Chains A and B, each alone.
Chain A
Amino acid sequence: MLAAGDSFPDLAGLAPALLAPLGTALGAVVRDGLVRGARARLSRADLGLAVAQVVACFVAGLFAGGGAMALAFCVAGFAGGLSTWSSLAVDMVGWWRERRLGLIAFHGAGVLALSFAAFVAGRALGGGAA
């Protein structure tokens, strides 16, 4: 408890730490919607995940040169939650068991290259050095 004469802690410094989980939550809900939508409409949940990864990398590149708030909410938060390694890794195990090597190559190399290109494009559009 604060005593008389004490100063309040610098709450402004906590804002980025609070914005990152908020952005992550929003990104994860959008990712879940994309995956479930692709599963329902295209019977290809992995395409929803691929779109989420590429868009997340574009957003991360776009705001990578921004201020602390943009970095926390958009880059560490939203883009971090929109993209994921864990779901991709679990899916890769299933594809390996099914011998769907084309899907593994598509996500392990194709989506990776697309995501990198999206990040570079975002950096260029956002004014960062590409």
Chain B
Amino acid sequence: MTALRRALLVAAGAALGGLFRVVLAVFLPVAADDPALVAPALLVVNVSGSLLAGFLRGLALGEERKGRDPSGLEATMVVGFCGGYTSYSAFIGSLYTGLAGHLPWTIALAAATVVLCPIAAAIGMRGSGGYPPRPAQDSAG
């Protein structure tokens, strides 16, 4: 796959993922007229995105084992869609905002995000039969 094709696939997936994130974690709380919903909505976005990314990464690993090239699926859906759908900076921003107000609630949401996202990814990988054998491949991105 050429670098340009990969960039276009990542961009297309990310644009869609970003749109979903903004609708769920920005527009819905605004529509409900309750800014306090932003942080829990973001938790749902990040955990569900990690679950989907784990599932898709498992599918990609399965394709690799069959000798097929999963780079298109990875670029569009894992790096692009899931990467654009979930957001670390929004998580940090919600921590910053929350620490000035509801400290215990903010710490609970932060801990839930840090713990639940990897667990969701592991569940997703198990769901698609791609839970990494030990030792696993380096798969950042």
Mark A residues whose CB is within 8 Å of B: 17, 20-29, 31-32, 35-36, 39, 45-46, 48-49, 53, 56-57, 59-61, 64, 72, 75-77, 79-99, 108, 112, 115-116, 119-120, 123
Q: For residue B16, which residues in chain A have a CB less than 8 angstroms away from its CB? A: 21
Q: For residue A112, which residues in chain B have a CB less than 8 angstroms away from its CB? A: 92, 114
Give the Cβ gap from A63 to chain B, nearest Cβ, in Å.
11
Is the pair A20, B138 in contact by a Cβ cutoff of 8 Å?
no
Report the Cα distance A75→B90, complex, angstroms. 8
Q: Which residue of B lies closest to A59 (CB)?
A: B89
Is the pair B121, A24 in contact by a Cβ cutoff of 8 Å?
no
Q: For residue A21, which residues in chain B have a CB less than 8 angstroms away from its CB? A: 14-16, 18-19, 22, 84
Contact of A86 among B6, B10, B27, B82 (CB under 8 A): B82
Is the pair B140, A87 in contact by a Cβ cutoff of 8 Å?
yes
The B interface is mostly helix, strand or loop, or mixed, namely helix
With A31-B83, A108-B114 as known contacts, state yes or no: A25 contacts B53, CB within 8 Å: no
Mark B residues whose CB is within 8 Å of A: 6-7, 10-19, 21-22, 26-27, 46, 49-50, 52-54, 57, 75, 78-80, 82-93, 95-96, 113-114, 117-118, 120-122, 125, 131-141
- 28 A-B residue pairs with Cβ-Cβ distance under 8 Å, sorted by A, are A21-B18, A21-B22, A24-B15, A24-B17, A25-B10, A26-B11, A28-B11, A28-B17, A28-B84, A32-B7, A32-B79, A39-B141, A45-B140, A64-B93, A76-B21, A76-B26, A81-B84, A83-B87, A83-B90, A84-B82, A84-B83, A89-B53, A90-B50, A90-B57, A92-B117, A96-B118, A112-B92, A120-B96
Q: For residue A87, which residues in chain B have a CB less than 8 angstroms away from its CB? A: 53, 78-79, 82-83, 140-141
Is the pair A86, B7 in contact by a Cβ cutoff of 8 Å?
no
